[in-house]
Amino acid sequence: MIEEQVVLVSPDGQPIGLQEKMQAHRDGALHLAFSVLLYRQGANGREYLMQQRALGKYHSGGLWTNTCCSHPRQGETIVEAGIRRLQEEMGISGVSALEDVANFIYRAQLDNALVEHELDHVLIACTDELAFEPNPDEVMAYRWWPELELVEAVEVSPELFTAWFPQVLSHAIAA
């Protein structure tokens, strides 16, 4: 099995090296990441494709989050990585372009004694008809969530969502 690495970055986003993924999360090292949020236009505005992370994930299992997220590989663009992870996590192959609308740095203490410290790029795309078959090792549930209901759920019950998702949603709404 190939050791998965993340791209370490400076606060201004310049790559400064590589580190094994789990070690980076134990150390809280700042690394490059992305969060994809697909949406469609519903009868009452935008609806976002959300996933509930599988319970077996190395952190944040059972929490709701954006369509998919991960880390780019060395030499892979953020958009290429987002398209790759849509296929790996959600079984989505029909999206050929993602818009990089924002990025932000956050640090969060997570379960399993891990720390997320990421420069997270927010990638969005509007989709109409979309076929997908989520990977059960990654996703335990999914749903299209109307924007107003989602904003309210994040405000009322933030513990149901991943640490990074409120910022991802705010950037997607502003785009």
Cα 82 from chain centre: 9
Residue spans of beta strands (DSSP E) within the chain: 5-9, 15-20, 31-42, 45-53, 64-65, 68-70, 99-109, 115-126, 139-146
Question: Which ranges in 10-97 belong to alpha helices (H)?
Answer: 21-27, 78-85
Contact predicate 92/82, CB 8 Å: no
The two beta strands, 5-9 and 139-146, are unpaired
Annotated binding-site residue? 133:
no
Q: 39 - beta bridge partners?
A: 48, 126
Exactly one of 69, 76, 138, 159 is catalytic; which is it?
69
Catalytic residue status for 47: no
Catalytic residue status for 69: yes
Annotated binding-site residue? 31:
yes
Q: 165-174 and 147-156 are packed helices; what angle lies between their axes, rounded to 10 degrees?
A: 150
Exactly one of 118, 133, 138, 149 is catalytic; which is it?
118
| Active site members | 69, 118
Binding residues for Mn(2+): 25, 31, 71, 116, 118
Binding residues for Mg(2+): 89
